[in-house]
Amino acid sequence: MAIALPGFANVHSHAFQRLLRGSVQRRDPQREDSFWTWRERMYALATSLDLDGIEAAARLCYAECLEAGYTAVGEFHYLHNREDGSPYPEWLATTYAHARAARQVGIRLSLLWTVYARGGFDAPLQPEQRRFGVPDLDTAKLALDALMPLADTGAVRVGLALHSVRAVPRDWLGPLAEEARRRGLPIHAHVSEQPREVAECRRHYGLSPVQLLRAEGVLGPDFTAVHATWLDDDDIEALARSRATVCLCPTTEGDLGDGIPPTAELHAAGIPLAIGSDSHAVIDPFAELRTAEYDARARTGCRCVLTDGSGDVGPALARIAHANGYDALGLPDGGDRVFLRDDARVFERVRDLLPVALLAGHPGLVERVDVAGQTVVEGGRHVLR
Ligand SMILES: [Zn+2]
C-alpha cells in the first residue's frame, strides 16, 4: 500500500535556470556574492542557450519535477528572443518549446507569458536583457491572443506574468492586467524579492511594489505575488483584502540570500500560500514546505505556524502544496496523484502520516506519479528514462 497525496503544484519556475545548478556555488574571492551577482551568471546562461537548448533544459527540469512529486508547473517564461535579442522568425518559438517539453514528459503546465520591457526603474534594457524584451503593449496583447489556442489544448493553460515593477513600466500595469482578465488568465509577478527593489520603487513612485500594483488595479483573487519577502503591514493588508495568493520559493530565497518572508503574518491574514522551486537550485516540494514552516517558526519563535483552524500542520501544508497552487495557476485538479512508499523507514512507528510525509518526506519516497490519468513516474523514475 502506498500513501496517496494530491499532486504538488510548482507555481513558480524558470526552467532554463536548472542548468545553473552546481556552477553558482563558488564566489569570486574579490567581492561579495548576492542576488545581483548571481543574476549576472544567470544572464550569461540565458544569452548562451539556443532554441534546442531551451527545450532540452525544460524537458530535464520538468522530468525532475515529476520525479520529485510535482504534477503541475507554472513557467514564468521570459526568454522570448534569440540569443542576440532579435526576434525569432517563428513567433513565440520559445514559448512553444516549453509547451512541447511539458507535453513530452507529461506535466501539467501553466505558461505564464512574461512581460519584461526595461532594465530598471529608469534604465533601458541592457544588452544581456534584450533576449527577454517585449517591445510594446500591443506586442504583449498580440502574444496573449496568439497563445489562446494553446490554452485549450488539454494539460496546457496560459497566464500573464508581469516580470516585476522594475521591468514593467507603471503605465503598462493596469492595461496588461485588464487584458489578462478579459481572457480569464491568472496574473503573476515577482514582488518585493529584494530590499533594493522596494527602496527603488518607493524612491521612484512613493509607493511600495504592492501598493503600486494595488493602485494600478493589478491585485485581485486571480493575482499571485511571487516571493513577497520584504513587505510591511500595509502590503500584507492590501494582499489580504484583494484575496491574492503569495507563492513562496523558500529554497531559492535561501540560495539567493533574498531573506525570510513574513510567512506567519501572511497566513494569519488569510492569504493563500503556494510554493515554487523558481531557480531549481533544489527541486523538492517537501523541502519547500519544510523550509516555509521552519523559517516561520525560526522567525516567530512559535511552533506549528502554518495550520488549519484545528491547529493541524498537515492539512494546511497539503493545501499549500496542491489546491492553492492549482488555483493560482488556473489549472483543473484533474485527479493528479503522488504515491509515496509507505514501507520507508521515515514512516515507521508513525500514526499521523500526513504531517510526517510533508515535513520529513523527500523525493526519494516518490514511487508513482499520475497526471491526467496517465502514470508518468513508476518505481521513482520517469517512464521515459
Ligand atoms: Zn522567479
Task: Pick left, alpha or beta for residue 301 (phi over 0 → left; psi -120 to 50 → alpha; otherwise beta).
Answer: left
Residue 346 falls inside a structural domain:
no
Distance 188 CA to ligand 1 centre (A): 10
Residue 382 falls inside a structural domain:
no
* Separation of alpha carbons 306 and 59, rounded Å: 33
- In the chain, count of helices (H) and strands (E)? 14, 13
- Residue 218 CB coordination number (10 Å): 27
Residue 160 falls inside a structural domain:
yes
Indicate the SS3 state at residue 86.
coil
Q: Which domain holds residue 28?
A: 5-335
Active-site residue numbers?
Answer: 227, 278
Residue 150 falls inside a structural domain:
yes
* Separation of alpha carbons 125 and 370, rounded Å: 42
Residue 267: C-alpha distances to residues 245, 306, 315, 383 (Å): 10, 7, 14, 37
Residue 183 falls inside a structural domain:
yes
Query: The domain spanning residue 17 has which CATH number?
Result: 3.20.20.140
Sign for the pseudo-dihedral over CA of 27, 132, 276, 344: negative
Distance 348 CA to ligand 1 centre (A): 37
Residue 46 falls inside a structural domain:
yes
Per-block average pLDDT, block size 10, for the chain (385 residues)? 94 98 91 93 95 98 98 98 94 95 96 97 95 96 91 81 98 98 97 97 98 98 98 98 98 96 98 98 98 98 97 98 98 93 95 96 98 96 95
The pLDDT of residue 152 is 65
- The residue whose grid cell reads 496523484 is 337
Query: Of 200, 259, 205, which is closest to residue 227 (Cα–Cα)?
Result: 259
Distance 344 CA to ligand 1 centre (A): 34
Running DSSP on this structure, what letter comes out for residue 343?
T
The pLDDT of residue 14 is 98
The pLDDT of residue 179 is 97
Residue at 113: amino acid letter: W
The pLDDT of residue 334 is 84
Angle between helices 93-105 and 137-151 (to 10 degrees): 30
Distance 86 CA to ligand 1 centre (A): 23
Residue 35: C-alpha distances to residues 40, 294, 328 (Å): 9, 22, 26
Indicate the SS3 state at residue 325.
helix
Residue 249 falls inside a structural domain:
yes
Q: Do 367 and 88 meet the contact criterion of CB atoms below 8 Å apart?
A: no
The pLDDT of residue 154 is 65
* Separation of alpha carbons 326 and 145, rounded Å: 23
- Long-range CB pairs of 137-142, under 8 A, 24+ apart, other chains included: 137/172, 137/175, 137/176, 140/115, 140/172, 140/176, 140/179, 141/179
Angle between helices 313-321 and 353-360 (to 10 degrees): 50
The number of domains in the chain is 1
Residue 33 falls inside a structural domain:
yes
Q: How far is CA 240 from the centre of its chain?
A: 20
Q: Do 75 and 15 meet the contact criterion of CB atoms below 8 Å apart?
A: yes
Distance 19 CA to ligand 1 centre (A): 15
The pLDDT of residue 142 is 95
Residue at 98: amino acid letter: H
Distance 201 CA to ligand 1 centre (A): 18
Helix (H) or strand (E) holding 379: none
Distance 90 CA to ligand 1 centre (A): 26
* Separation of alpha carbons 334 and 370, rounded Å: 10
Distance 72 CA to ligand 1 centre (A): 16
